[in-house]
Structure 1
Amino acid sequence: MRFNRILLSSTLVVVALVIQVSVLARLQLPGAVPDLVLLTVLALALVYGHTGGALIGFGAGLLTDLAPPADHAAGRYALVLCVIGYLAGLAKPETGRLRSASGPLVVVVSSAIGSTLLYAGVGALVGDDAARHVGLGGLLFTAALYDLLLAPFTIPLIIALARRAENDPLGETGANAKAADVSSGWLSSGTGLSIGNQRGSGLRMKAAKARMARAGRIKGVKRL
């Protein structure tokens, strides 16, 4: 991952974790807690793809495991978010542009339910049966509902920030950077770039021919 991606992802994950622990977890809502960290991972995975989504998910999950009040084994949520980030990254559009909001919303609902089930399943393997006492059905419903309500206010903003970071002039330059820019998927085909290069080359050749013609006329006058 490039430096600007790492910096932006780390900042967004830390901010989301602080808001989730200090604000959302204290709302005492029935059922699950709105998972802002999960939404951040999903948004970044939709921009960076499955590899970036897996790496970001693992790091975000590990921070969540270590953040107080941690009441479970470290690495449990890291595994969950790593898998969810990878799967969400597979839904990244080939052109880098989201054609509608229905796709991300389906990803949010599926990820909220999948992460809850996977977290409960990993907990059952290590002897944590807290999900049985809380009620898994209500937990799944509230997790999907809260994340779905929070998604329109977070995912578009995070995607816009990630795409803007891809246009960072301090990052990769030239055609490779433009082709890698997910916010300019139409450039990846090379059509726009080739037309621009051809036009630029044509203008430079015309200018060179004009200078040679003027030089020839001046030399002819001098010979006379």
Structure 2
Amino acid sequence: MVLDLITIGWRYTMDFRRPTTTAPAQTPEEAYRQLRSLADESALRNLGALYSMAVDDHDIDTVVAMFAEDGSFTRAGHTVQGHTALRDFYIGMMDRYVTTLHIPNSHVITVDDDTATGILTGQAELSLNGTLMMAAYRYDDRYARQDGRWVFAARTLKFMYVVPIEQMPTSFGDSKRIRWPETPYAEADLPEALPTWDSYKC
């Protein structure tokens, strides 16, 4: 079953058939399109990896330049849009954390000419107010090709967990895995809130 969840705020589930299906090229034009798609996917994976490094390096100019002029970033229901707002947001985030290490994991991409979508999973280590936080996240991305270069049109961040490192052994049994210091525990974004979480019983 293919789910389109854009209407409820973010598109989590891709059509798994398209990014996992191949067919031999029958014409030179088809072969060119396949090679172009591979090149686009490689460039988009580079974008995801370089974004993580730029955030960890506090390279604010590079981070902002990775977004379209009207690009947006959404986290915890709050969206910032446009280069000026994005710059202010990332400067605030960089001021908040002493050290961060973002580690991209899987990255599934679907390209449609000059636009693309992707889901990127990753893990992070964050130093916050003397507490080492561990996180697992997913980005729901929309991309745009501008002047031959891929940029983020929109990024939506969801957490499977954000917990102090000492709580890692015990936190998984609780759905309240958003545990920022000095704030009440909150429900994790993933996976319990997904429509597939309980539908497998039907």
Task: Report the TM-score, using the length of structure 1 for normalisation.
Answer: 0.21
More helix by share: 1
More strand by share: 2
